[in-house]
Amino acid sequence: MTEAKKELYDIIDLIPDSVAKELLNYADYLTLKYIEKTMPEKLIIKDNEDLKRKLSERIGKIESGKAKLLTIDEAFDEIDSL
């Protein structure tokens, strides 16, 4: 275990349960921010309008034959391959 992780574990042991949930939420937030920085732009959904636009673009590509309709498993496989 790295020294930084050991220090985190030691600090976590001292945190009251009432604060632990807030820290978990913040850890999730930091993780998502890191993932967003490394993820291709086409996979990031910024808001409802962005989701609608990206879905409409994909539907248009499927209807024109430029893309195929994927199953859920195929979609996740494609995302995992990026």
Q: Where are the domains of the chain?
A: 1-38, 41-82
Tokens of 70: 């994927």
Q: How many CA atoms lie within 13 A of 76 on its CB side?
A: 2
How far is residue 63's CA from residue 79's CA, in Å, rounded to a whole number? 21
Which pTM value belongs to this model? 0.51
What tokens appear for 49 in the block?
């309008």
Find the mean pLDDT for residues 55-65: 95
Contact status, residue 61 vs residue 67, Cβ threshold 8 Å: yes
The pLDDT of residue 62:
94
Q: Give dist(CA 35, CA 72) in Å, integer.
A: 21
Compute the average pLDDT of residues 48-65. 95
